[in-house]
Amino acid sequence: MFVVETPRIARKSKPGQFLVVRVDERGERIPLTIADSDAEKGIITLVIQEVGKSTIRMGVLREGDTLLDLVGPLGKPSHIDYFGKVVLVGGGIGIAPIYPVVKAMKYAGNSVVSIIGARTKELLFWEDKVKEFSDELLVTTDDGSCGHKGFVTDAVREVVSREPQVDLVVAIGPVIMMKAVAEVTRGPAIQTIVSLNPIMVDATGMCGGCRVTVGDRTKFACVDGPEFDGHLVDFDELMRRRKMYVDEEKTALQKCRLNHVATQHTFRAEHKG
């Protein structure tokens, strides 16, 4: 988890938006969802999962270190409004970006049911933060080490079947999870918004690398999204496209000989400018 000092981004950041980070001179541009922001303090919070060379390199940064480049906020903000009863779902690393949506939906007067889940207890975080702005919080873990044993999808199914009326579902997390949530809500035709995370380069609408099929149209997730109607997204295509550089990622990881133990740590990284 990173707390980054970047007043110019913190000032403008809204729920649902992301930014692009470049860690060092030879680094990639990687998109990361903004998990929290504080305009007054000029800080934003990022939560990363160390899965590739760039995120592992971010993981070895220490308090006071500087990120080379940071641009944002990017993408369209979430549509925050009064809907009535909303179900907000964060899976795994998606717990972080669902948090600002939870907060904003609560402030907008909605009745908020939050569902967060992870593989196991150690990977869960922010239960308290999410709970603070939720009328009800359901927690799931795949192995049952915390909360209900099962997937967030199971909890969504339960809520949808017991509530007489659900007006909106927002799901953020792994592609497979968002696809599953969208399947649950398709039958009862509950509007379902998902936040997509395809491969991006510039993230400003210039490269088209992040194109996704929504309905029968191709959209650029970076500028048309990242949020789309979950019932219209071609998730299978998205999963395929995210694997475009699997071989290259292995090569990069082999080159990256960092004797690094993945840990969760909080620190401040400053960003110049």
Partner 1 sequence: MEEWKKHKQPMRRQDPHVRARNFDEVALGYTEEEAVQEAERCLACKKSPCVEACPVEIDILGFIELVQQRDFLGAARKIKEKNALPAICGRVCPQEDQCEELCVLGKKFEPVSIGRLERFVADWEAANTETLAPERPAPTGKRVAVVGSGPAGLTVAADLANLGHSVTIFEAFHKAGGVLVYGIPEFRLPKAIVQREVEFVKSLGVELRLNYLVGRTITVDELLAQGYQAVFIAVGAGLPYFMNIPGENYNGVYSANEFLTRSNLMKAYRFPEYDTPIKRGKRVAVVGGGNVAMDSARTALRLGAEHVYNVYRRSRQEMPAREEEIENAIEEGIDIRFLTNPTRILGDGKGWVLAIECIKMRLGEPDQSGRRRPVPIEGSEHTIDVDVVIMAIGNGANPLLPSTTPGLETNKWGNIVADEDTGKTSMEGVYAGGDIVTGAATVISAMGAARRSARAIHDYLMTSRK
Q: Nearer to partner 1 by C-beta: 144 or 208?
A: 208
Find the largest Cα–Cα distance for the chain: 54
* Cis bond before residue 73 (omega within 30° of 0): yes
Would you give the binding string for partner 1 spanning residues 146-185, x where CB under 8 A is met? ----------------------------------------
DSSP H or E segment with residue 3 = strand 2-5
Q: Nearer to partner 1 by C-beta: 80 or 207?
A: 207
Stretch that binds partner 1, among 97-105, 124-132, 184-192, 244-252 (CB under 8 A): 244-252
DSSP H or E segment with residue 88 = strand 85-91
Q: Nearer to partner 1 by C-beta: 218 or 264?
A: 218
> Phi and psi of 66, rounded to 5°?
-120, 140
Q: Nearer to partner 1 by C-beta: 240 or 260?
A: 240
Is 82 among the residues that bind partner 1 (CB under 8 A)? no
Is 245 among the residues that bind partner 1 (CB under 8 A)? yes
Q: Nearer to partner 1 by C-beta: 149 or 240?
A: 240
Is 50 among the residues that bind partner 1 (CB under 8 A)? no
Tell which positions 87-116 bind partner 1, by CB under 8 A: none
Is 215 among the residues that bind partner 1 (CB under 8 A)? no
Q: What does the alpha-carbon distance between residue 265 and residue 268 come to, in Å, rounded to a whole number? A: 10
Q: Which of 61, 71, 80, 123 binds partner 1 (CB under 8 A)?
A: 71
Q: What does the alpha-carbon distance between residue 218 and residue 175 come to, in Å, rounded to a whole number? A: 18
Binding residues for partner 1, rule CB under 8 A, total 41
Note the helical H segments in the chain.
7-12, 53-59, 95-107, 127-132, 152-162, 175-186, 221-224, 235-242, 246-255
> Phi and psi of 210, rounded to 5°?
-95, 20
Is 55 among the residues that bind partner 1 (CB under 8 A)? no
Query: What does the H/E/C string look like for 183-249?
Result: HHHHCCCCCEEEECCCCCCCCCCCCCCCEEEECCEEEEHHHHCCEEECCCECHHHHHHHHCCCHHHH
Is 195 among the residues that bind partner 1 (CB under 8 A)? no
Q: Which of 129, 131, 157, 211 binds partner 1 (CB under 8 A)?
A: 211
Answer for the pair 221, 210: CB distance below 8 angstroms, yes or no.
yes
Residue 97: count other Cβ atoms within 10 Å of its Cβ. 27
Tokens representing 72?
Answer: 């944002």
Is 79 among the residues that bind partner 1 (CB under 8 A)? no
Stretch that binds partner 1, among 95-103, 174-182, 196-204, 261-269 (CB under 8 A): 196-204
Interface residues with partner 1 (CB under 8 A) are: 8-9, 12, 22, 26-29, 53-54, 68-74, 201-202, 204-209, 211, 213, 218, 223, 237, 240-241, 243-245, 248-249, 251-252, 255, 273
